[in-house]
A and B are shown apart, each in its own frame.
Chain A
Amino acid sequence: MLPLNDVGLGSALLCGALFGFVLERAGFGSPCKLTGQFRLTDWSVLKVMFTAIVVAAAGLWLLRVAGVLAADAVFVPTSFLVAAAVGGALVGAGFAVGGYCPGTSVVGVFSGRIDAVVFFVGLLLGTVVFAGLYGPVIEALMTAGEVATGDTFADAWGIPDALLIAAMAAALVGVFWLGGRMERAAGGPVTAQQAVDGAERAGR
């Protein structure tokens, strides 16, 4: 029965290396490409992330239905909705302004970008500032707005997993269609050549 619950060094290096490799192949070391999503000129972030979510969610569902993957055996984040919203706002603002999210900044650093090193230093300092301010107020914020009935749409509101995944797959087609149109109107997504050149035209 899966998962294997392997917490060893080998699985960490393997999964991490594949993760970093694919992120770089998608162009996610380039802050111009990444932030193009927020300028609506390059939809790669939404296309890649959304596709990955649908593929992984469908895979987990299929393995569970086939009886290969134990039910409730994978980690599901708790539904602390206020914390998720506040954190999402700050990470989104940091991404738009700084050009990276935490994971892609590592990809940026290891494709040679000095601005990604600076972002990562800021990330460490932000963590220290958070730790310095941590107390009852932040703790209350972090556990506020919990959905009492469950952490997933199925548990909390009885929405079947298969229905949600199908709806996401349909929305994904819409993302590719709309994103493709808006990218063409903006002259196409950021290319690898533009990314290594510092993407001058991304600043239009």
Chain B
Amino acid sequence: MSAIPTAAGGTDTASRTRQPQPFWNPLAAGVALGLVLLLTFVLTGHGLGATGASTRLAAWLGLTVAPQATAGNAYLGPMVAGGNPLPSWITWQVIGVAVGALASAWLAGRFRVQIDGARSVGTGRRLAAAFGGGLLAGFGARVAAGCTSGLGLSGAATLAISAFVFLGVFFAVGLLASRLVRGI
């Protein structure tokens, strides 16, 4: 149990004594998410995403650490040709996700500094699984040119065939992988 870090410093006791509010029920959350997605389409002409921003962040990090290799790379090169790749709609949208998630978690008393899942599989295994899972998802999202949000959720709302293929395989492989590897 000592491997589980809790919120640091003096806020620890205060946040721990605070009861977390329950989650929204899935129907209400789903309707709300659908309306946010619809609003996004109506305002911008496209849906919500995530890896558009992480890809730009990776390109920016590449440009900072190894500018020549990044500029010469067949995938990242065109992205950094116009300079800093970060300023774009999708980057600001993901910053918005961070702000919205923080506000929601904080207001509902659900903000906890923790290594989630370390209790069930151990800290080392949990962090290794999180890293490996991120690696797979990062690579996969570039192959599909989208992730669960950008291609799965937003694409399915436009009734795109590729979105349903993505989601079908996503769930099938997820079911299988969770039986083969215990990462959390």
Contacts and interface: CB of A to CB of B under 8 A. Distances in A.
A177 interface: no
Nearest to B139: A126
Given A20-B101, A75-B158, A101-B149, A125 B135 contact: yes
Nearest to A190: B23
- Interface magnitude class on chain B: 35 or more
- Chain A, interface SS category: helix
B83 interface: no
B52 to A, nearest CB: 10
A134 to B, nearest CB: 4
A27 B19 CA distance: 15
Given A79-B160, A103-B50, A198-B4, A29 B135 contact: no
A199 B117 contact: yes
B159 A164 contact: yes
B143 A101 contact: no
Interface in A88-134: 88-116, 118-132, 134
A186 interface: no
A111 B162 CA distance: 32
A54 B153 CA distance: 10
B151 interface: yes
Interface in B27-51: 27, 29-51
B54 A38 contact: no
Contacts of A199: 116-117, 119-120
Interface string A16-44: 11111111111101111101011110011
B117 A31 contact: yes
Contact of B115 (A12, A43, A114): A114
A125 B119 contact: no
A39 B178 contact: yes
- Chain B, interface SS category: helix
A195 interface: yes
Interface in B61-78: 61-62, 73-76
Contacts of A178: none
A156 interface: yes
Contacts of B116: 30-32, 99, 108, 113, 115-116, 195, 198-199
Nearest to B7: A112
Contact of B141 (A19, A102, A156, A165): A102
Contacts of B81: none
A96 B100 contact: no
Contact of A92 (B24, B98, B108, B177): B177
A65 interface: no
Nearest to B65: A128
B104 A24 contact: yes
B134 A98 contact: yes
Given A11-B40, A123-B54, 12 more contacts: A19-B40, A40-B175, A55-B31, A84-B163, A87-B143, A90-B140, A92-B173, A93-B177, A115-B116, A115-B118, A126-B138, A127-B55
20 contacts: A19-B33, A19-B36, A19-B48, A25-B108, A27-B24, A30-B116, A47-B30, A55-B31, A57-B159, A69-B42, A77-B160, A83-B145, A85-B169, A115-B115, A116-B116, A131-B75, A151-B162, A176-B26, A192-B22, A203-B184
Interface of A: 2-9, 11-27, 29-33, 35, 37-40, 43-44, 46-57, 59-60, 63, 69, 73-81, 83-116, 118-132, 134-135, 138, 141-142, 147, 151-154, 156, 161, 164-165, 176, 191-193, 195-196, 198-200, 202-203
